Structure 1
Amino acid sequence: MTIEVRVPSLGESVSEATVATWFKQPGDAVEMDEMLCELETDKVTVEVPAPSAGVLVEIVAAEGETVAPDALLAQIDETASAGDGKRSKPTKSADTATRETAPKQEQAAEATAQQDQEGTKMSGKAVDVMVPSLGESVTEATVATWFKQVGDSVAVDEMLCELETDKVSVEVPAPVAGVLAEIVAAEGETVDAKARLAVITEGAAAEGGDAKSAPRADTSTPKDEKAEKVGSPGAGPEEVTPRSDVEDAPSARKAMAEKGISRDQVQASGKDGRVMKEDVARAESAPAPSAPARAAQAPRRADQSGREERVRMTRLRQTIARRLKDAQNTAAMLTTYNEADMKSVMDLRNEYKDQFEKKHGVKLGFMSFFVKACCHALKEVPEVNAEIDGTDVVYKNYVNMGVAVGTPQGLVVPVVRDADQRSFAGIEQEIGELGRKARDGKLTMDDMQGGTFTISNGGVYGSLMSSPILNPPQSGILGMHKIQERPVVVGGEIVIRPMMYLALSYDHRIVDGKGAVTFLVRVKEALEDPRRLLMDL
């Protein structure tokens, strides 16, 4: 019986994904729930497990292809048995099988003869390495670095390459142990969520010192020529071009650049002394890398005078740019401003922060007050919590609060679900956990989808006032800013108070000016007198 493997749910408003890596190849035996491939969306990766045990008989969507939700990815035959290791194209029809049988037999015989002649121990079945799960709305990825080259031995789960998506870096592990027989997608290539990256000959052993080809799948260069570029048997260390499998992980190089950590400050834990992302997290801070070091960390071009440099935008940065511009082009975006006296909130925090932390194990911050204040105001002005769907307005009877977080890789917006039902402690705990996951690059698709309203805190960077941009399809976003002491008039007297400017950007297509101003006034009132939250006023 043939079982279809289809694209899983990609999340709200996600219309497509890119096949990043196939971890199995036609003819391979698969177990139920064994990972077949990984898809890449705009934000995260999505793993596709096998729905049943059997043999993978056909890959419909190759690596690099863009697919829609529920699209057919592959087919599994529950009754078939894995072959003797020879790669075979899945049979699509009897006529196709008849036409392809003879060429494949000839190719297999020729490959076997060549392997015997070279003395390479290539045995076992061929296993495809596919683009892993990429996550919500991510349609493609770029192959950043290959850490292995054709002919190298690989262990199961050993990192083969790293992909760069719009949101995160995705590491691709080896699905089986064996020898890397082919690299299909070279460094720099863009692949979709169901693309095939490479092929591993399972159970094979590489011949020592005999690298078959460079780690790039360059079809314009013959294999023999590429082998000479890497090195030949008997060549001394100084004659061999450094292999990619001893390069630091791209995510680690990024982290070192962003944190100002030099290479010699990091204790590497990866294979052959490779620095991994977690190694950088453990290292102490150091002076920022020099210009030559930065050159090794990102593709760039410099002019002859050295006064300029051109650095390719990461996929995450490209997506941020595109989505923000789309928001401006689509929504009738307008911003209204107000200011809040933060003295009452600050006094309340100072009075209860020690007891709060002792009981709940988390610090009492400002964000829980703002989340609570926004949830309170959204009940009175529900259109700010709604969205436009065609000619309909969808009102949400719940609040999934997006909290914009700046990371070294770019802006992400994890979501605190059902924020209107959570306590102060529950909100602080969830925000803390999402913040840690964002900084570590561990956010999942579920963490970043389903938001109905967003809060952005530019004040942590010192911003005094700004106009935040909407996070589509949401209709409102609140901008927090720096708390600054200013002279204000209270009860007819001039006093010094800790003040914060508030900004609400909203979609004027659905939110009228009256509603927007009312919402911001209610937030202001709740912050200046937090007791109103208890009284539901």
Structure 2
Amino acid sequence: MATEIKAPAFPESVADGTIAAWHKKPGESCKRDELLADIETDKVVLEIVAPADGVITDIVKGEGETVLSEELIGHFRAGEVAAAAPAKAAPVQQTAAKPASEAVLSPAARKAADEHGINPADITGTGKDGRITKEDVLAFAKSKPVVAEVPVVEESAPAVAKPSASTPAPSAPIFDGERVEKRVPMTRLRAKVAERLVQAQQTAAMLTTFNEVNMKPIMALRAQYKDQFEKRHETKLGFMSFFVKAAVEALRRQPVVNASIDGNDIVYHGYQDIGVAVSSDRGLVVPVLRNAEDMSLADIESTIRDYGGKARDGKLSIDEMTGGTFTISNGGVFGSLLSTPILNPPQAAILGMHKIQERPMAVNGEVVILPMMYLALSYDHRLLDGKEAVTFLVTMKELLEDPARMLLDI
């Protein structure tokens, strides 16, 4: 008896998804928990795995088609093997590369292959059951002859999540000496991010206020204890945990910054769920530190580290990116000296961190070179007045320049 293969139940914040890729064909055998298909939503890529050893009998929803929550996408028959399995070839033939259409890639590997113009059939996978990983693609790209690396794609072009029938094969571009362009469809995540950013600018009365922080005290504290911290907690001590702790305390003192607008109502949140913007291959994602007010520095650092790894591997769940009452974005990791971050609706404010830059500063009538960082707070002026926003940012500055304040609650 055939078993229905359905899309997973999407949360209320996700309306639908798109079949990004089928990794098995009808009549093809698969093992229990083997990857069958990828469904791309506005936030994450969801993996559909085989419920048991068996065979895909038919596919109802093909690649590129839109699916709803728990919608039927195919059928699976447990306990069977492929009816027309070919006879075993000589050992030397078993290592032959699969055709590009049969190569099994993770979503990150497929994106990397498209970016480098690599045919997946040329790559030998080292993952489970011969699956091609992103590391396999990057290693193959480095080993390619220079002549094969001539194709150049604009860095700003978004990466396609999967090859499609309407898109030319990236492995065989045509160059005639003219300027080259490559057109690829926008991913659902990129499209959703674009929609939300435009929405934020059109619906909120957004304003940004700035301040600067002397990072010397935190840098000295970190240098003194980072080795002991890592040995004790098995995670590195970074700067983000200090900013999260300072933000939690500043939000307690200015609860309106932690609020949001719902229609004509103001919703005040009695908890601090801090979103941390993370850049991934698929675009910007914002996983949330739940109840950050109850987290230690070590908890914050280890959780952010785990989120970073999941973002790179496309493993962040929808629950991990849903909600949040306040967001911190660190453009400084890319060298940004100053920026105006855009709100993450329906939140009322977002904090932008930046590059630590040594600058001459006047201290007690003398010029001193100090490691300084600009802070930017973008906020919704419909909810926050300048007084609350500036007071919040000044509180952040005071706590960061004297970390003992966070311990003493003063």
TM-score tier, shorter chain, comes to: 0.7 to 0.9
Counterparts of 1:358 and 1:386, CA distance in 2: 38
Q: Percent identity?
A: 54
Counterparts of 1:287 and 1:323, CA distance in 2: 40
Structure 1, unaligned stretches of length 5 or more? 1-124, 211-240
The equivalent position to 1:329 in structure 2, one of 202, 205, 214, is: 202
How far did 1:154 drift? Answer: 3.3
How far did 1:209 drift? Answer: 5.7
User: Per the alignment, in what secondary structure is the counterpart of residue 145 of structure 1?
Assistant: strand
The equivalent position to 1:268 in structure 2, one of 123, 126, 130, is: 126
Matched, 1:455 2:353: no
Q: In the alignment, what sits opposite 1:49?
A: none
Counterparts of 1:425 and 1:296, CA distance in 2: 35
1:127–1:176 CA contact under 8 A, matched in 2: no
Change (3 A) 1:153 1:360: closer
Matched, 1:254 2:111: yes
User: Per the alignment, in what secondary structure is the counterpart of residue 442 of structure 1?
Assistant: coil
Q: In the alignment, what sits opposite 1:367?
A: 240
Counterparts of 1:183 and 1:462, CA distance in 2: 47
How far did 1:276 drift? Answer: 4.0
How far did 1:488 drift? Answer: 1.4
After superposition, the C-alpha distances for 1:300-339 in whole angstroms (9 at most, x for unaligned) are: 4689856111011111111111111111122211111111
After superposition, the C-alpha distances for 1:380-399 in whole angstroms (9 at most, x for unaligned) are: 21100011122221112221
Aligned AA for 1:532? R
Report 1:263-412 matches (<5 A).
267-271=125-129, 273-276=130-133, 286=142, 290=149, 291=151, 298-299=163-164, 300=167, 305=178, 307-412=180-285
After superposition, the C-alpha distances for 1:95-143 in whole angstroms (9 at most, x for unaligned) are: xxxxxxxxxxxxxxxxxxxxxxxxxxxxxx1221111344562222222
Change (3 A) 1:525 1:311: same
User: Per the alignment, in what secondary structure is the counterpart of residue 250 of structure 2?
Assistant: helix
Aligned AA for 1:462? G
1:400–1:415 CA contact under 8 A, matched in 2: yes
Counterparts of 2:55 and 2:72, CA distance in 1: 16
Counterparts of 2:353 and 2:143, CA distance in 1: 31
How far did 1:443 drift? Answer: 1.9
Counterparts of 1:269 and 1:361, CA distance in 2: 27
User: Per the alignment, in what secondary structure is the counterpart of residue 307 of structure 1?
Assistant: coil
Counterparts of 1:285 and 1:270, CA distance in 2: 21
User: Per the alignment, in what secondary structure is the counterpart of residue 172 of structure 1?
Assistant: strand
User: Per the alignment, in what secondary structure is the counterpart of residue 190 of structure 2?
Assistant: helix
Change (3 A) 1:429 1:380: same
Counterparts of 2:179 and 2:19, CA distance in 1: 28
User: Per the alignment, in what secondary structure is the counterpart of residue 520 of structure 1?
Assistant: helix
Counterparts of 1:322 and 1:374, CA distance in 2: 27
Q: Could you tell me the TM-score, scaled by structure 1's length?
A: 0.64
Aligned AA for 2:35? M
Aligned AA for 2:126? A
Counterparts of 1:194 and 1:519, CA distance in 2: 44
Q: In the alignment, what sits opposite 2:95?
A: none
Change (3 A) 1:494 1:429: same
Matched, 1:167 2:43: yes
1:147–1:244 CA contact under 8 A, matched in 2: no
Aligned AA for 1:486? R
Matched, 1:152 2:8: no
How far did 1:492 drift? Answer: 1.1
User: Per the alignment, in what secondary structure is the counterpart of residue 180 of structure 2?
Assistant: coil
Change (3 A) 1:455 1:186: same
Q: After the TM superposition, which of the residue ranges 321-330 and 142-151 deviates more from structure 2? A: 142-151
How far did 1:521 drift? Answer: 0.8
2:160–2:186 CA contact under 8 A, matched in 1: no
User: Per the alignment, in what secondary structure is the counterpart of residue 519 of structure 1?
Assistant: helix
Aligned AA for 1:331? A
Q: In the alignment, what sits opposite 2:58?
A: 182
1:145–1:161 CA contact under 8 A, matched in 2: yes
Q: Could you tell me the TM-score, scaled by structure 2's length?
A: 0.83
Q: In the alignment, what sits opposite 1:128?
A: 4
Q: In the alignment, what sits opposite 1:142?
A: 18
2:280–2:312 CA contact under 8 A, matched in 1: yes
User: Per the alignment, in what secondary structure is the counterpart of residue 102 of structure 2?
Assistant: helix
The equivalent position to 1:191 in structure 2, one of 67, 73, 79, is: 67
Q: In the alignment, what sits opposite 1:88?
A: none
How far did 1:366 drift? Answer: 0.7
Higher Cα Rg, which structure: 1
Change (3 A) 1:357 1:156: closer
User: Per the alignment, in what secondary structure is the counterpart of residue 435 of structure 1?
Assistant: helix
1:261–1:286 CA contact under 8 A, matched in 2: no
2:330–2:354 CA contact under 8 A, matched in 1: yes
Counterparts of 2:266 and 2:160, CA distance in 1: 49
1:316–1:409 CA contact under 8 A, matched in 2: yes
User: Per the alignment, in what secondary structure is the counterpart of residue 199 of structure 1?
Assistant: strand
Change (3 A) 1:487 1:335: same
Change (3 A) 1:443 1:514: same
The equivalent position to 1:509 in structure 2, one of 382, 385, 392, is: 382
Aligned AA for 1:268? T
Q: In the alignment, what sits opposite 2:101?
A: 244
Counterparts of 1:285 and 1:533, CA distance in 2: 48
Matched, 1:432 2:305: yes
Change (3 A) 1:206 1:193: same
Counterparts of 2:100 and 2:368, CA distance in 1: 67
1:344–1:528 CA contact under 8 A, matched in 2: yes
1:146–1:244 CA contact under 8 A, matched in 2: no
1:136–1:445 CA contact under 8 A, matched in 2: no
Change (3 A) 1:184 1:261: closer
How far did 1:180 drift? Answer: 2.6
Aligned AA for 1:269? G
Change (3 A) 1:492 1:157: same
Q: After the TM superposition, which of the residue ranges 305-314 and 488-497 deviates more from structure 2? A: 305-314
1:388–1:394 CA contact under 8 A, matched in 2: yes
1:401–1:455 CA contact under 8 A, matched in 2: yes
Aligned AA for 2:285? V
How far did 1:500 drift? Answer: 0.6
Counterparts of 2:285 and 2:379, CA distance in 1: 19
Change (3 A) 1:441 1:295: closer
Report 1:522-533 matches (<5 A).
522-533=395-406
Q: In the alignment, what sits opposite 2:346?
A: 473
2:123–2:136 CA contact under 8 A, matched in 1: no
How far did 1:465 drift? Answer: 0.6
Counterparts of 1:257 and 1:529, CA distance in 2: 48
Q: In the alignment, what sits opposite 1:536?
A: 409
